[in-house]
Structure 1
Amino acid sequence: MSSGSDSGSVRVWLVERTYSDDEQNLIILTYATTDGERYYRKERALTSFTDARDTTAAVDADPDNLGSVDNSDRREQYASEARRMRDAHEPGDVI
């Protein structure tokens, strides 16, 4: 796993952006390691149309906040997308 800029953190890349079926105005951002084995999920409630919070190509996450990707197809998908994002963007690029 790649280390992020902060000591002890892990850099994860945006691999999925979905909208919750259960709650209105909830966006689920999924970031993953480039090997696809670990993921970080971030939920963001949009409170208004003027709610402008940037989504970046990568974030540095605490390893304790990462989940394991157990499904091999999902792991391959996350790895492929994380590497694509890493190769195409700087971590702080707004996506």
Structure 2
Amino acid sequence: MDTDDTTRVWLVERTYSDDELNLIILVYATTDGRYYHRRERALPSFTGPARETKAGLSVTADELGTVDDHSTRERYAAEAARVAEEHDPDDAI
């Protein structure tokens, strides 16, 4: 845990939704890969302001899900550790 009962998660996956047009799915995970946080975001219009995707977030325990699949947990752990090593949480990536 970080401070104030929050946990630091790092961007591990960015995909486009198959069933919704103009929707980006962002997945953040802990560096051990055990927990994840998912956000959905509409793609910005070409005329509107761009929205940055932060390298890391601090989220509360009720915003976290558990990663049950072993291979997904390993993949998330590796990518979260890489992003944490290369970026500050507020970096736009």
TM-score range, shorter chain: over 0.9
Within 5 Å, give how 1:74-89 maps onto structure 2: 74-89=72-87
Within 5 Å, give how 1:31-42 maps onto structure 2: 31-42=28-39
Q: Take 1:20 and 1:51, find their aligned partners in 2: how far apart are those partners?
A: 21
How many residue pairs match? The answer is 92
TM-score of the superposed pair, with normalisation by structure 1: 0.92
Unaligned runs of 5+ in 2: none
Aligned residue for 2:15?
18
Contact 2:44 2:50 in 1 (8 A): no
Q: Take 1:76 and 1:24, find their aligned partners in 2: how far apart are those partners?
A: 30
Unaligned runs of 5+ in 1: none
RMSD: 1.1
Within 5 Å, give how 1:67-78 maps onto structure 2: 67-78=65-76
Aligned residue for 2:6?
9
TM-score of the superposed pair, with normalisation by structure 2: 0.94
Aligned structure 1 segments of 4 or more residues deviating by more than 6 angstroms: none
SS in 1 for 2:89: coil
